[in-house]
Amino acid sequence: MAVPLFFAQMRPGTIMGKTAYLYDKIFLAHDTGLSHPECPERLIAIDDKIRSAPYYESLVKVKPSMPDLQYIKTIHTPAYLDRIRQEIEGGAQYLDSMDTEVCPRSYDVALMAAGGCLNMCDTVMSGAALYGFCAIRPPGHHAESDSAEGFCIFNNIAIAARYLQKKHALSRVAIIDWDVHHGNGTQHAFYRDNTVLYISLHQYPHFPGTGSIFEKGDGPGEGFTMNFPMNRGDGDTEYFAIFTSQIIPALNKFRPDIILISAGFDAHRADPLSSINLSTEAYGEFTVMLLDAARQCCQGKIIAFLEGGYHLTALANGVDQVMKAFTEA
């Protein structure tokens, strides 16, 4: 079966927007030790690829800054912030599990990553850019309200979603999570919330063990969590089928004010931490489909937040596919 290609069609009155890019060397200071897959070299590979691209000079450059902690506390408990700060200052090497390794600068770097994502939200909401990519680390979608998990300290995308609602008065936010691992922290943050639509495609069963098709939200949030567990060996064809038959119709029905992407690139066929067979080009196609949906419901606004991706070449090329889709839209 041939995999279809999807191309966003420009409509009369479509706003042509610039693309913003968040990156800073401060994110390299989160030292996860030798041989850890979530390493500084991930961002170096991405930034080298982006800087060498013909679109680089046209990008709106966004820088990080320390956020107002009130926005971090919309997702994480004050006790959690105090605890991890104290543990890191006390010389802890890990937070809550052996997979989330930290160094003396990790607390500040994680805050700067979250703060940079909020600056990206301001950039897009101001109209200075229409699309944005946050090349940040540590990643965020596994972080729970009161615990670190899966390389993640603060849940960047969840914090950004609440910020957009509180600071910019958006009513509805959609989060599409195509990382190969289910975003348990993001799901739990909005599980009883009908103002945030959370959609995840992920290898299942796989770390962290959540994300079954039966997890659909609770109370007022029932139906606003959509999980699509993917099987080992699935690839472009299976993912495109979910996008076309489920995700795009759900977005058209929900009509979000903005679309956020938990952009992990570890479902690529070369990634060492998964068994999904996505091509590099698939990430560009996903982005194009979401761009078309965004033009119909939220004036085109999309922000992507880096999550996983542990094969350096595949990661950099996947991000480049997303950026090409943004800059050529």
**Catalytic center residues:** 142
Residues in the chain: 329
Assigned token pair, 34: 């030798």
Rounded CA-CA distance 202/182 in Å is 5
For residue 221, the one-letter residue type is G
Q: Among candidates 162, 167, 164, 227, which has minimal Cα distance to 193?
A: 162
Q: Which residues contact 157 (CB under 8 A, 6 or more apart)?
A: 117, 140, 141, 175, 183, 186, 260, 262, 305
CB 56 within 8 A of CB 50: yes
Q: Report the helix count and the strand count for the chain, using DSSP H and E.
A: 10, 10
Rounded CA-CA distance 269/248 in Å is 24
Assigned token pair, 89: 């200052």
Handedness of CA 112, 42, 270, 96 (dihedral sign): negative
Q: Residue 320 half-sphere exposure, CB side, CA atoms within 13 Å?
A: 20
